Amino acid sequence: MTTAKQSSDQTVSSQHSPIALDIVGSIGELALNNGPLNLVDKALLRALNAVLAEVEHNANMRCLIVHGGRGRAFCAGSDVREFERIRHDASEQKILYEDMTLRRLARLPIPTIAAIDGAALGGGLELALACDLRVCKKGVVLGLTESRLGGLAGSGSVRLTRLIGPARAKELLFTAETISPELALSLGLVNRVVEEGSALEAARELASTIAARGPLSNRLAKRLVDAAQDAPLDAVLSMSTVSQQQIFESDDLHGGVAAFLQKRAPEFKGR
């Protein structure tokens, strides 16, 4: 259950919730709050899904940052202590719900950024992979390490392959090796590596830039990029034509052009 504090900014959380959502202007910050390792357990998944539903229906939000809060890790993966209890009905108890929640994150209409200031391992990296962009602090470790325990990175295997290609994805999955942010950057797994300061600070700067751009444009761009990975070329190009017409009919485009000609900052409304 969540409670909301109304002000110019908004905080959505409960005292003992494993998820906290802070809304500052048009940018949301979703903090994992599940102990020093931010382990993925049933309570975290339920809270995450509920908060994502609120974000999904917030028409004023333009970007969402997901970060590890006060934890030592961004997220160190699943709480393996749950596994024996769900052995014979894991699909019902964990797998389907977790996949649904990560798909909800991936399908949010707004840009999303994972700010990785601590280890992102196993299910934690799968969570980061469900975001659009990843900003990583130098010195942290990343990896889909499930096979060390005989486990499997399900959705992570798919999303990693789409980012870095099958051969490199297979190597990381088969060996369960952790990699540095610098290697992750060269592979295309992360977008930016922060040498000084925190990944959260860098993600906030990036989110501010994104939020200053046309929100309708960014939502449509995300939809087209995601569709480009799944649908036939002609179908996506048809989507592009419809999206372009939507942009040309929008107040944002014509207000942005007027601001450009008048040499002032645009004020986008998302319509």
Nearest one of 112, 100, 145, 126 to 189, comparing CA atoms:
126
Of 92, 146, 171, 249, the active-site residue reads 146
By the 10 Å C-beta count (0-12 exposed, 13-18 middle, 19+ buried), 129 is classed as buried
Q: Is 56 among the catalytic positions?
A: no
Query: In this structure, which amino acid lies at residue 60?
Result: N
Beta bridge pairs of residue 112 = 64
Q: Which of 98, 126, 182, 267 is catalytic?
A: 126
CA distance 95 to 55: 23
Nearest to 106 by CA among 227, 215, 242: 227
SS3 24: strand
CB 45 within 8 A of CB 97: yes
Kindly report the backbone phi and psi dihedral angles of residue 79, in degrees, each rounded to the nearest multiple of 5, phi listed first. -80, 100
Quote the DSSP letter at residue 118. S
Q: How far is CA 258 from the centre of its chain?
A: 33
Task: Reply yes or no on whether 195 is catalytic.
Answer: no
Identify which of 179, 149, 147, 139 has the alpha carbon closest to the alpha carbon of residue 163: 179
Helices (H) and strands (E) in the chain, counts: 11, 10
Structural contact between residues 115 and 135, judged by C-beta atoms closer than 8 angstroms: yes
Q: Which residues are catalytic?
A: 126, 146
